[in-house]
Structure 1
Amino acid sequence: MAARGPNAALSRLIGEARWTYRQFARAVNRVGTETGTPLRYDESAVSHWLTGTAPRQAARTCILEALSRRLGRPVTHAEAGLPAPAAATTPAANAVEGLVDLGRQDMDPSRRRVLGAGLFSVALTIPGWQDVVGRAEAVQSGRTSRIGMAEVDTVTAMTEKVSDLDDQFGGRHARPMAAAFMVNTVAAYLRADAPAPVRQAMLSAASDLLYLTGYMAVDEGLHGFAQQYYVKALELAGAAEDHLTYCTTLRGMSVQAVDLGHGRRALDLADAAAAASPKAGPRMLAFLLGQQAHAAAQTGDRTGALRRLREAETAMDRAESRGKAFGSYDPAALNYHTSQVRYELGDVSGAVEAMELADRLRPGVYRRTRVRHRGTMAERQLELGHLEAACTTWHQALDDYPLVQSGRADDRVRAMLGLLKPHLRNPQARDLYDRARTMAA
């Protein structure tokens, strides 16, 4: 593209980030790798950009994301002196159209590679509660049919069934099923005539389903796509004035961010979830505090992390036994957060101890979680030098692995194979490696 004159704005941002041209190029390339389209920029490319040559659109997206992550704030095209992208040709006209657009993409197996290239963005704009609350008029009635609470119950029951499948078998097959249900059934319900209480309940039920579908997209590693589901869930939860699903979704977005290593963004999202739920019961409070503790630990805030963890433990002691179908928080989940906090703060032994307790307390229906977390526990046992204990734990993970269709479970098995390679002279390690390699194949 032709030069347009020196880009002083981009130069200022690189200076603010305290990057050399080479460091900046590498950061952009790392973001590109996340999209599934590796970039090969170097300092000469950065020099061209600064003299006014506009990078192609795919690179501009990666440039803005790299700068946003480094500076801890959203960076726009205008701020970076870059041409804005062309307007979308098919913008979602309303909440239902956006939901259908998401679901149709997810239903199409041929789009798997495209969806996987979606970029997780720390600069994603999150709608606040006051921005979305009560905006049910965004969902337009098609005036073609009328629904009642029976249709709401249908959506709720389907969400619970899909959640059960996800817990036991992973989301790889369950998510397209949920997407098809959204497109073919939920969208029609949202367009239909309904009394105000029924419409509000349907918005809430649809929001629950969107949150769950986003969670399953995270499980498959489709992080940019998951963010789209989550934002749509926030919009519908606000329209339904459903605090619980709104806060649960923000907390889910925080989990996604912290697992990707974006601690500051994860803490912001966890804090936003807590702020939006001032009247949370003890179980919901523990649910939110546990995530705040993990995110704070990743940012290096030892005092804040331990304080929130103690508060979560106190809230759990007071919690009632009831919980939402896929949003409940139990002692196993709290011990998992304890393990994550300890690990982030450098206490690997304490992290393994808490993870072992979580494993003993976890209900048997959570097979996918069991595979993932046993894989993580074995990695930390190996980090302590306990090779034979790690092999035992990995074998337990592999017992369930063939029954689970999960991208994150696949990641743990791939990590296992890499970590075992230096130890193949050990008979237990060799036996485990051979078993895992056969399953991975």
Structure 2
Amino acid sequence: MKTTPNSKLAHWLRRSGLSRTELARRVRAAGQAWGQPHISTDASSVRRWLEGDIPRSPVPEILADTFSAVVGYRVTTYDLGLGDSQTVDNSLVYSSSFATTVASVSDLGRADVDRRKFLAAAPFAAVAAVGPSRDWLLNTLDQEPEPGPRVRLEDVSKVKNMFGTFQDMDVLQGGGSGRLALAMYMNVHVYPLLRRTHTDEVRRALCEAAAEQTYLLGWMAYDSGEHGVAQRYLVQSLRLAEESRNAALGAHVLAGMADQATLLGNPTEGRRLAQAGRAGLSKETSHACMADLWCLEARALAKVGDKRAAAHAVAKSEDAFSRVRPEEEQEWAEFIDHAYLNGEHANTFRDLGEADQAEAHARESIAHAQRQKRARRGAMSQAALAVSYLQRKELEGAYKAGLRTLTLAGQVRSSRAVEAVQDLQRRMRPFGDHRLVADFNERARELTAA
């Protein structure tokens, strides 16, 4: 049977400026990153696709990510003439259809619980946040859910009551502790409710509760180092937050996306996402969320070396936090406190090379985290304190803070805490084979190996 030439794929190939050989090379490289080393695409493969052959999954998804990275915004498998994409691609799309959003987030939750390899290997897509943050600000929603048994406010209250339990689990034990349980709970009890009919009041409340917990799933995946999974949860959480008409919650989701972008080496995008979140708070203000957004902008500015702008953003964050009234804030904002903000400010000044200010903020964070028994935050702030010592060439102080980092990191399931230890090991290398460096590396070996 003769196939029809794929004009859509040909269009995007011309638009990207890539040759067939270069496209094939990028697909092979992406296949390695996705854990699919058997993908052996060459220029002949690209020719067959252009002639109408449909490659097997996950090649269509890899092609979508490849073209997206080249052109600077999201290109889907449908755009490429390769059919509807699987969950790994659908969950990056910020759909105007509520029904499509529900289907995407439900499929994502099921894939996460099943621990499907294609999802776990899905990479972070640097440009995927461009469309969602723009569409969230434009606020264009007009779809209705599918018919079914009516949901009551009492049903939503049960969902919201579970949020604090899972958030405490994340804060105190790390993202690797409760994520599977939360994903199963969402799949069984929450996402099915989204498919049913509601009054407008109930629908907004339900979408708000679902957005909060979908964000938390993304944050837990982020803390476990599964950034492709985390990004997909965050995109769908942002769409649900918009449906709820809770601007502060949407800005909170953008803060998480900003944090992730900066962490993964895209500080310019991280700053833009933080700015978009602040713009969305113009009509409905959360001082805690505003403090967080300024804090994350400071982190991004520090990464690009803009000392003056970063210091200004830290000051704006502190000013916003001084106006926080806990009783007026939403439950998800509870973590935005002295321990968190001072810890992040310590990292900002660490990246700027301002050792004294980094130390002051790190010590403030450590004191609050210790009182709250927050091992993950304590570990990361102890690591920032250790780096401040290293920046002043004070190895003994860094060693002692490093040991405290190891102790706290071992108490939680958090890849970020482990990465803080690994960062310390890298920063100690200039001290060569000093006995304190050797001892720290020996003590860290078991944690980093695990």
User: Under a length normalisation based on structure 2, what TM-score does the superposition of the two structures give?
Assistant: 0.78
Contact 1:147 1:192 in 2 (8 A): no
Q: Tell me what 1:218 maps to.
A: 222
1:245 aligns with 2:249: yes
Distance 2:205 2:47 in 1: 53
- Amino acid of the residue matched to residue 315 of structure 1? A
1:339 aligns with 2:346: yes
Distance 2:151 2:14 in 1: 58
* Deviation, structure 1 residue 297: 3.1
* Deviation, structure 1 residue 417: 5.1
Name which of 358, 383, 386 aligns with 1:351.
Answer: 358
* Deviation, structure 1 residue 30: 7.6
1:169 aligns with 2:173: yes
Contact 1:368 1:404 in 2 (8 A): yes
* Deviation, structure 1 residue 177: 0.9
Q: Tell me what 2:118 maps to.
A: 114
1:398 aligns with 2:373: no
* Deviation, structure 1 residue 221: 1.4
Q: Tell me what 1:287 maps to.
A: 292
What secondary structure does 2:333 align onto?
coil
1:105 aligns with 2:105: no
What secondary structure does 2:443 align onto?
helix
* Deviation, structure 1 residue 265: 0.9
Q: Which structure 2 segments of 5+ residues have no match?
A: 92-98
Pairwise mapping of residues 83-98 of structure 1 onto structure 2 (< 5 A)? 84-88=81-85, 93-98=99-104
- Amino acid of the residue matched to residue 367 of structure 2? R
1:208 aligns with 2:209: no
Structure-2 change in CA distance of 1:425 and 1:224 (3 Å):
closer
CA RMSD after TM alignment:
4.0
* Deviation, structure 1 residue 180: 0.6
* Deviation, structure 1 residue 158: 1.1
Name which of 414, 426, 434 aligns with 2:442.
Answer: 434
1:308 aligns with 2:313: yes
Structure-2 change in CA distance of 1:147 and 1:134 (3 Å):
same
Deviations 1:221-259 (CA, angstroms, capped at 9, x unpaired): 111211111111111111111112111001110001011
What secondary structure does 1:255 align onto?
helix
Contact 2:145 2:194 in 1 (8 A): yes
Contact 2:267 2:300 in 1 (8 A): yes
Contact 1:251 1:273 in 2 (8 A): yes
What secondary structure does 1:385 align onto?
coil
* Deviation, structure 1 residue 10: 6.3
Structure-2 change in CA distance of 1:401 and 1:300 (3 Å):
closer
Structure-2 change in CA distance of 1:85 and 1:296 (3 Å):
farther
* Deviation, structure 1 residue 420: 5.6
1:318 aligns with 2:320: no
* Deviation, structure 1 residue 273: 0.5
Structure-2 change in CA distance of 1:138 and 1:287 (3 Å):
same
* Deviation, structure 1 residue 264: 1.3
Q: Tell me what 2:273 maps to.
A: 269
Structure-2 change in CA distance of 1:37 and 1:239 (3 Å):
same
Name which of 131, 134, 140 aligns with 2:146.
Answer: 140
Distance 1:344 1:63 in 2: 35
Aligned length: 421
* Deviation, structure 1 residue 54: 7.0
Contact 1:115 1:222 in 2 (8 A): no
Structure-2 change in CA distance of 1:85 and 1:375 (3 Å):
farther
- Amino acid of the residue matched to residue 395 of structure 2? L
What secondary structure does 1:88 align onto?
coil
Structure-2 change in CA distance of 1:268 and 1:37 (3 Å):
farther
What secondary structure does 2:167 align onto?
helix
Pairwise mapping of residues 171-190 of structure 1 onto structure 2 (< 5 A)? 171-190=175-194
* Deviation, structure 1 residue 88: 2.5
- Amino acid of the residue matched to residue 184 of structure 1? V
What secondary structure does 2:332 align onto?
coil
* Deviation, structure 1 residue 281: 4.0
Instruction: Name which of structure 1's ranges 323-332 and 422-431 shifts more when overlaid on structure 2.
Output: 422-431
Percent identity reads 26
* Deviation, structure 1 residue 294: 2.0
What secondary structure does 1:216 align onto?
helix
Instruction: Name which of structure 1's ranges 258-267 and 324-333 shifts more when overlaid on structure 2.
Output: 324-333
* Deviation, structure 1 residue 59: 7.4
Instruction: Name which of structure 1's ranges 257-266 and 193-202 shifts more when overlaid on structure 2.
Output: 193-202
Distance 2:398 2:264 in 1: 24
- Amino acid of the residue matched to residue 158 of structure 1? M
Q: Tell me what 1:18 maps to.
A: none
* Deviation, structure 1 residue 262: 0.2
User: Under a length normalisation based on structure 1, what TM-score does the superposition of the two structures give?
Assistant: 0.79
Distance 1:97 1:9 in 2: 27
Name which of 259, 263, 271 aligns with 1:259.
Answer: 263
Distance 1:33 1:350 in 2: 42
Q: Tell me what 2:96 maps to.
A: none
Q: Tell me what 1:412 maps to.
A: 420
Distance 2:364 2:66 in 1: 38
* Deviation, structure 1 residue 300: 4.0
Contact 1:77 1:84 in 2 (8 A): no
1:123 aligns with 2:127: yes
